[in-house]
Amino acid sequence: MDSITMLDGAMGTLLLRQGIARSIPLEGLCLTDPQRITAIHRAYLTAGAQILYANTMGVNRLCLEHPECDAAHLIHAAVNCAKAASAGTNARIAVSSGPCGTIPPAIRSAACEAIVRAAEAAGADLLVFETMIDKTEALCALNIAKKHTALPVFVTLTCDASGRMPCGAYADQTVSALEQAGSDAVGLNCSLGPDRMLAVMESLAKRTALPLVLKLSAGLPDPQTGEYPLSPEAYAHAVAPYLPLGISYLGGCCGTTPEYIKALASSYIINSVKE
């Protein structure tokens, strides 16, 4: 168990639970309300997280949709929030980046390069391309990162319970390609809850020797109430069958909170962040 590194949980859904309007770019809060973001990071550290994901997932789309936005400025502010929370600990900070979607490839590549360069300049410890929905975009992002930084790069995919990603490719085939392209770790994030994704993770484990990342949502939210079906205890219980696969990085995605990370850490993690 001591080989597992604890990741944090959700940022976006937690901010929405705090009453932040959906119309507000959540990444911009690193500039307008940094104390709120820092407090969330600190709560995850207290719960047991050893790697904090900076509040940067949507910076690429934000900057593509609003050209006046400065990716470097936003990423620097986000990393500073995480650094403020983790001061005096040995926690690491990841700059995460989500999918761009249907943006033309040339523009998408330029946005990705800007994020990679900004992450290194801001002092991040690693890069994570998460919630990747398209095999081509995932490989493109990884190749750009490997070209422009020596930081470790993780790539995590989202898919349905059959392993099919929204682009039509299968996750196990994609992780094989990512390993060949030089990813430092691969895995799943978002998607369905851990009670429904075990078969997919088993297929990934058979296709790659890379460290595996598991950072799933707390199930699908109720369309009426927005509540997620898995409690922290149920989430931690559902994760247990994944551990024999060799999970190296473990955390939570949509719907998870510091309580979920605490439940995971108390169940499965021996080493915690040192003060």
- Assigned domain for 247 exists: yes
Identify whether 274 is part of a domain: no
Residue type present at position 185? A
Q: Is residue 20 part of a domain?
A: yes
Assigned domain for 189 exists: yes
- Give the model's confidence band at 222: pLDDT under 50 very low, under 70 low, under 90 confident, else very high: very high
Chain segment 232-268, per-residue pLDDT in tens: 999 999 999 999 999 999 999 999 999 999 999 999 8
Residue 174: domain span: 5-268
Least confident window among 86-95, 103-112, 229-238 = 103-112
Contact (CB, 8 A) for 1 and 269: yes
Structure tokens at 101: 């979607």
The dihedral sign for the CA sequence 175, 153, 71, 218: positive
Residue 190, burial from CB neighbour count under 10 angstroms (0-12, 13-18, 19+): buried
Write down the pTM of the prediction. 0.94
- Residue 231: which CATH number? 3.20.20.330
Total domains, the chain: 1
**243 falls within a domain:** yes
Identify whether 275 is part of a domain: no
Residue 266's contacts (CB-CB under 8 Å, 6 or more residues apart) are 48
CB 218, CB 229: distance < 8 Å: yes
Torsions phi, psi for 153 (to 5 deg) = -130, 120
**Is residue 273 situated within a structural domain?**
no
Selection from 91, 76, 95 nearest residue 11 by Cα: 95
